[in-house]
Amino acid sequence: MPAALLTVNLGAIVANWRALDALSAKTVETGAVIKADAYGLGVAPVGRALQKAGAKTFFVALAAEGATLRQAIGPAARIFVFSGYMRGDEAAYRDFNLTPLLNNADQVTRFLADRQGAACGLQLDTGMNRLGMEAAELASIIAQIPALNPVLIMSHLACADEPEHPQNAAQLTAFKDLTATLPDIPRSLSATGGILLRADYHMNLTRPGIGLYGGDPFIGAQPVVTLSLPVIQTRPVSVGESVGYGATWIATRPSVIATVAGGYADGLIRAMGPNASLYARDVACPIVGRVSMDLITVDVTDLARVQAALDILNATQTVDSLAQAAGTIGYEILTSLGNRYERVYKD
């Protein structure tokens, strides 16, 4: 039986990067966030496609991710690591020329002891209370800034996907205040949501992530992923018969049910069952019964012919609409996509 087929449109990722790049001034550099294996889609092919399109600066979460990316794209690009200079990662920073975004005074001290003269950045907390230095901790290391000579100073917006949220303006003000004494260091505040806000959020460098992969809040993004699940079996089901665990779905008409290869072991979240469909081209075929570990059952009664595979992700049912069906967000759908799929990349 053929494996489920995950098709990644690299051309769409590049088009989304270019569209986000066009939203800021030519003096603003547009980087790319490709952490978590490029949001589950493959850091090597995605990184190479974006580099070829013109991206020169990349962001990952962990030093190990940075090492993998460096081996894929070569020595020219900058690779920033959000988690900073973590203990145990010293060799990765040295061997793969990675740039830590230092998050606290301890990281600053250890970086200066180990790597003074190498590139680094600083991460500030402006209200998200997750990573980065607040005002007092930044003041405690201010005398070390000349020795650090950071190439970037950044913070992260907590509510950028809600344009009218007052915390956006509060964080913008806080970031400007914190960096006022560091006027010559390039600044970065905006991921995808921040790019879609006003130009004063763009600073010197933007860091699009989810928008590259076709996700909200970038309305108008090109869809990137198609996921086709092979049909293993079809069967007639009579009125009154149930399908799947717990007998949660009972046929109210003579039905044809297709069982497809895919389930929550493949990142297709169990909770999506009652609210999602699979598609035969543009015809919706509702999921019936519970999503199980390896199998999903689908009502194909209204199809004139059952195809060899049905799509669970396509231009009609995007990562965000599937996420809504599962009560989650598109990020989780993308990063949960399993390793049992055959992956195909197209330009």
Catalytic residues: 35, 245
Question: Residue 84: left (phi > 0), alpha (psi -120 to 50), or beta?
Answer: left
Non-local CB neighbours of 229 within 8 Å, separated by 6+ positions: 4, 260, 261, 262, 278, 296, 309, 310, 311, 312
CB 93 within 8 A of CB 100: yes
Token readout for 107 is 């990281």
HSE-up of residue 139 (Cα within 13 Å, Cβ side):
4
* Positive or negative torsion for Cα 100, 105, 108, 109: negative
Q: Residue written as tokens 């149930």?
A: 242
**Dist CA 147 CA 294 (whole Å):** 55
Closest alpha carbon to 334 in 22, 36, 32:
36
**Dist CA 91 CA 268 (whole Å):** 37
CB 313 within 8 A of CB 299: no
Q: Quote the distance between the C-alpha of residue 252 and its chain's center.
A: 40
